[in-house]
Structure 1
């Protein structure tokens, strides 16, 4: 089946259920809590999530998890959503953010066709991982445009996690957050992407609130 046919089949699959589902990818450094975030949003995603909700790395492959927007304060109540759980990157050779975005674009095209774009990207990072402050700021708008289209900056939410791992240390966390805002994430923020905090696992209300702008 050609890529154009895959797009047609993708649309037909949801014909009669309104518009095609919202496609939202959750990406980030290994251990940032990607799978746990999806677990919190859906309340029913058991594959790939540590039972103690520890935010430890688990996902080895791309996984598509379907849900509906019921209870998410969506203008399209009951609309279909597909959350894409992705393997984390660790900034080593061949496993950095640029490589992972390129692989995600290939996977998206293979699964849904060449005309399908993401409706949103949740880009997560452990607020206590300071390694990122030594990296040059992320500048690859081309990769994000391939995934999300020309308005990619409106489709990216930058989420810092693990805040409650060090209770009483919010001052240090806020310092790291400022470094992210002024450093690694600064290009995306200047373009219009937003920052959010995902303080701890198990908070479905907060996880869904982070997701809500894409619906």
Structure 2
């Protein structure tokens, strides 16, 4: 998971060793629907890893509520089929000079979607290190760990660098598989166990608040024109 352009599809393609998912290079994101790719574990041919590529919530070309619905429905179905998630990789590109407001909100919805109990199984992976100087990137990495990601790190999330290589992708997967699989994400429990509607979930409620804020900003902007 992560904002559009963070490198989600690139991460999966590197892990798979083939172009299994389409990578976007323009303004319009390529991941418009959930995609999954099945790959054999490099050191264990008897083990399979299923990578799930999701659209980002600050995707301006897709309705954000529709994105949440896609993710929620997939999560609910997989949970209903007794398929457990090993963990979640949340990607953030280091080439961004500032953490945009939309990216902060993306992370906010993400946190509500997974819940506190699943935070220990999240890998916060930084990408696009080739676009920044090592010293600058290290400073930004430190700022992320001690500010934006501070609470998640304190709750057990770990950080890692994706260096656009197969090796670094599987090093991140190893961080996940060395721990026990998740029982369930918060949104899975809410939709299946508690039988809530999507707008009634924590993620849905948070997204509704964000949308109301965006509508308010839009109206204020139009009023000034």
TM-score, L = length of structure 2: 0.64
Q: Which residue of 1 aligns with 2:128?
A: 162
Q: Deviations over 1:90-121 (max 9, x none)?
A: 2769639xx85664232222355265442110
Q: Are the structure 2 counterparts of residues 34 and 140 from structure 1 closer, same or farther at C-alpha, using a change threshold of 3 Å? A: closer
Matching residue of 1:179: 143
- Cα 1:70–1:177 change in 2 (3 A) is closer
Matched, 1:28 2:21: no
Give the unaligned 5+ runs of structure 2: 178-225
Aligned counterpart, 1:207? 169
> Does the residue aligned with 2:31 lie in a helix, a strand or coil?
coil
State how far apart, in whole Å, the 2-side matches of 1:183 and 1:117 are.
30
- Name the residue aligned to 1:18: none
Cα distance change on mapping 1:139 and 1:68 into 2, 3 Å: same
* Counterpart in the other structure of 1:144: 114
Q: What does 1:1-215 align with in structure 2 at a 5 Å threshold?
A: 27-49=1-23, 57-71=29-43, 78-90=46-58, 95=64, 103-111=70-78, 113=80, 115-132=82-99, 135=104, 138=108, 141-145=111-115, 151-166=117-132, 169-199=133-163, 201=164, 203-215=165-177
What is the RMSD computed on CA atoms of the aligned residues? 3.1
Distance 1:198 1:89 in 2: 21
Question: 1:85 Cα deviation (Å)?
Answer: 0.8
- Asked whether the 8 Å contact 2:20–2:37 carries over to 1, the reply is no
Deviation at 1:143, TM superposition (A): 2.0
CA contact (8 A) 1:102 1:143 kept: no
1:112 and 1:211 map into 2 onto residues whose CA distance is 21
Secondary structure of residue in 1 paired with 2:148: coil
Out of 104-113 and 153-162, give the one that drifted further. 104-113
Q: 2:42 aligns to what SS in structure 1?
A: coil
Q: Deviations over 1:167-211 (max 9, x none)?
A: xx2222122112211222122111010001113x2x111111111
- How many residue pairs get aligned? The number is 172
Q: Relative to total residues, which structure has the larger helix share, 1 or 2?
A: 2
